[in-house]
Amino acid sequence: MSERLFRILGLIADDLIEEAGRSASRRRPWRNLAAAACVVLVCGATFGFLAASGGNLLSGGASGNTASDGASAGAGEHDGGTAFMSYAGPILPLTTAEANPGLLSERTITWDLSPGTYADGSPRQWGAAVSDCYALTNPSEEAITVTALYPFTGSFSALPSIQPEVTVNGAAAEPKLYAGPYAGGFRDAGEADDSTWNPSSWTDYQELLESGAYLDQALGEEPRLDVPVTVYSFSDFSLPEDAPDAATQAVTFTLDPERTTVLSYGFNGMSQEAGWRQYSYFVPNGVRSESDLKLLVIIGDDLGAYTLQGYVDGGCEQMLADVSCTVTRTETTFDAVLEEICRSYAAEYNARRSTEEATAFDFLSLDMLQRAAAELLTQYGLFSENAKDRYSDGRLDEIVSESLVQERVLYLAFPVTIPAGGSAAVSVALWKEPSYDFGCSGSENTDLQGYDLITCLGSTLNFTSQTAVLAETQGVELVRQNIGFDPEDGITQVPLDLTEEHYFIEIRPTP
């Protein structure tokens, strides 16, 4: 489909089409999601947990490998530590937007492993409060002002818990949030499953960040998708009083797939056969939690005649009379459509949550979500020369929702001025989720929590020293590390070797 889209847009030469088409030969038509309702009821809670946790069940690595100290590792090992099934990403060093600011820095990283509590007040040992502090020194004879960038790993959806707090010389900073594109990837399209995989070890972030291209993209211009489109919007839905809960409406038409590409939002199913298409959705009834925004976005030649028909359910076999809606046709650009979709998605996302609960959109602007969706479309979707099978059907619902939960490196940008011959203090406080193995996996390390630290990767600062500190270790057993902590002998502060890129600790809560 991506090859046809590039032909429609005039962005690909004919002599390249045959080669590109060979890599897009598989098709995965999707049917109305009503057929999967039973599966969703059984698996929904598990899937939600894995998505929220950034699970890496598809990231590879066999279980049962042995770490360097003889302890069993949950899914392999990296640098003598456990390669966890769910990898939380490392703590990364402060950097600057300026390529060579000429600043010296001392760094102190503190893990506070004090237990937290559940909602009922019972103790809960999960995650660590991290303090990442920098003493920046300016050895020159002139003041230096830089745009400091603090990188942290995670997803937009996790921002309410992972957003760091920054102070400069003791005063709270008001940083601007930037985000790089999806940090993971996909299995090869030739395999049975080309599902996403999140970074599974610190070396994935090393590969991602060491050239500087990822940061350049995060700070650079967003993709422009000002492609002319025709949009069919479905609204003002009407059902008979005795309509079944799964009442469905379908729009059916024929097209020339070489001249027309269709993307959708708010539709629950699609069937296709040669040039025949049928898109369907459960008719909004004020009870079911789903989007009222229903759009078909047409790139290339417009649709001709189409039919609208009601059905008793998503199978679209038994007809249902007196199902109606209003269809509005609009000519606009894809950027404008994506902006409307992101605005609608954010409103629905917030509406599903308690008014007292912070949401991702307390930290995330609609512009950033739209940018992330556009990057996903141009990196792996239909606007890419290497569109992945999971996005080949043009479901914009998937693009926007996955943009919210995919792992990436985010950056907090804030100004810092260091006087001539003087210094400035930057302190970053954040809650860090641990890496872990899933409780249902049978791994011997399901009770381990892992934390990774990167010393200098991607930083423009000239570090003169770094020190690791372990605080509040009561109720915690230190299982595996390469730092040198020994709490029993009072060694909870250790200078780090700056030639060592990666340090880690793994702990286990004790009864």
Cα angle at 294 between 288 and 297, to 5 degrees? 155
Mean pLDDT score of the chain, rounded to an integer? 84
In three state form, how does the secondary structure of 337-351 look?
Answer: HHHHHHHHHHHHHHH
Give me the pLDDT at residue 187, please.
62
Q: What distance in Å separates the CA atoms of residue 211 and residue 207, rounded to the nearest whole number? A: 8
Give me the pLDDT at residue 285, please.
80
Distances (CA, A) of 407 to 33, 159, 358, 413, 456: 26, 11, 20, 19, 21
DSSP secondary structure, 396-450, as one string: HHHHHHHHHHS-EEEEEEEEEEE-TT-EEEEEEEEEEPPBB--TTS--TTTT-EE
Question: Domain 52-220+408-509 falls in which CATH fold?
Answer: Immunoglobulin-like (2.60.40)
Domain ranges of the chain: 2-30+223-405, 52-220+408-509
Q: Three-state DSSP class for 254?
A: strand
Cβ burial, residue 190 (10 Å; 0-12/13-18/19+): exposed
Q: For the chain, what is the radius of gyration of the CA atoms?
A: 26
Position 477 pLDDT exceeds 50? yes
Q: What distance in Å separates the CA atoms of residue 206 and residue 198, rounded to the nearest whole number? A: 14
Q: What distance in Å separates the CA atoms of residue 441 and residue 438, rounded to the nearest whole number? A: 5
310-338 pLDDT per residue, tens: 999 999 999 999 999 999 999 999 999 99
Position 196 pLDDT exceeds 70? no
420-460 pLDDT per residue, tens: 999 999 999 999 999 999 988 888 888 899 999 999 999 99
Q: What distance in Å separates the CA atoms of residue 103 and residue 81, rounded to the nearest whole number? A: 33
Mean of pLDDT values over 202-216: 95
Confidence band (pLDDT; 50, 70, 90) for 281? very high
Position 51 pLDDT exceeds 60? no
Give me the pLDDT at residue 357, please.
82
CA-wise closest residue to 197 among 208, 188, 209:
188
349-381 pLDDT per residue, tens: 998 887 778 899 999 999 999 999 999 999 999
Q: What distance in Å separates the CA atoms of residue 316 and residue 32, rounded to the nearest whole number? A: 8
Q: Amino acid identity of 183?
A: A
Determine which of 243-252, 353-362, 412-421 has the lowest per-residue pLDDT on average: 353-362
Q: What distance in Å separates the CA atoms of residue 209 and residue 369, rounded to the nearest whole number? A: 22
10: alpha, beta or left? (left if phi > 0; alpha if psi -120 to 50): left
